[in-house]
Copies of this chain bind each other. A is one copy, B any other.
Amino acid sequence: MLYIIGLGLGDEKDITLRGLEAVKKCQKVYVEAYTSLLSFGLSSDGLSTLEKLYGKPVTLADRETVEEKIDDVLLEAREADVAFLVVGDPFGATTHTDLVVRAKKLEVDVKVIHNASVMNAIGVCGLQLYRYGETVSIPFFTETWRPDSFYEKIQRNRKLGLHTLCLLDIRVKEPSLESLCRGKKQYEPPRYMTIKTAIEQLLEVEQIRGESAYNEDTSCVGLARLGSEDQMVVAGSMKQLLLVDFGSPLHCLVIVGETHPVEEEMLGFYTLGEK
């Protein structure tokens, strides 16, 4: 049996009792580091926090494992109980649908244990979840690669009065260009997009496209470390949020659509200078 278990957003204590029970009975435990494990005590002191809680060793499944060696994990799961831990929900922002498809093809039984993800925890800012349109991703721009398909989506959402959740790029274990040339694996340091960078890119695209999908006075909410003890939520215009230091990652951004009175009141609590 393969258990795909959501860890939630904050730290090791955000696992559910059901999830912890499953981990305890598994013979092998993997934790996926493809996306982000910032607050789970993994970045510097290894896997100690999770291993202490679970009482057993945990294997880090990095990008390479997930992309190239996942069938080995699945074959193990045919013979034994294997846990595959994922930050957030197994089907949250980064999806594991492909993993389930491969498991089913190999006739491995799969059980999913859900948890909070950015897709619902974003509700904390007070904007109603059913008033969001399509979610967009903002990728890091490079000199030569500046994809802006998010622009039409934001434009469409705003025309309909809907809010837009912007997921900001995460680059973990990206092979360096140099290492690709040399055929030797070396990785770039991890990069997490800040709200500032996201807004700069958004405004750059607006300037080029010029269709007034939004502008620097458009109302937004910036959220950092959502679901953690030290989460930060600030509402303000794009221009205002550019000046806010949101601190360490992860960041995300909501572009506000039309608001109802209760939504307004909640945003008021997070608005710069008003409280």
Contact = CB atoms under 8 A, between A and B. Distances in A.
B114 A119 contact: no
Given A17-B17, A262-B97, A266-B97, A135 B129 contact: yes
Interface in A121-155: 121-124, 126, 128-137
Interface string A66-93: 0000000000000000000000011111
A128 B95 contact: yes
A234 to B, nearest CB: 16
Nearest to A90: B123
A130 B17 contact: no
A117 B92 CA distance: 11
A21 interface: yes
A133 B121 CA distance: 18
A265 B101 contact: yes
Contacts of A89: 116, 120-121, 123
A224 interface: no
Interface residues of A, number: 56
B269 A16 contact: no
Contact of A21 (B13, B21, B104, B263): B13
A98 interface: yes
A112 interface: yes
Interface string A15-48: 1111011000000000000000000000000000
Contacts of A129: 91-93, 95, 119, 135
Interface of A: 6, 8-10, 12-18, 20-21, 89-93, 95, 97-98, 100-101, 104, 112, 114-117, 119-124, 126, 128-137, 156, 160, 162, 167, 227, 262-263, 265-266, 269
25 contacts: A6-B116, A8-B16, A8-B114, A8-B115, A12-B17, A14-B16, A14-B18, A15-B16, A15-B17, A89-B120, A91-B123, A91-B129, A95-B123, A95-B129, A97-B263, A100-B126, A101-B262, A101-B266, A114-B227, A115-B116, A120-B120, A130-B135, A130-B137, A134-B162, A156-B160
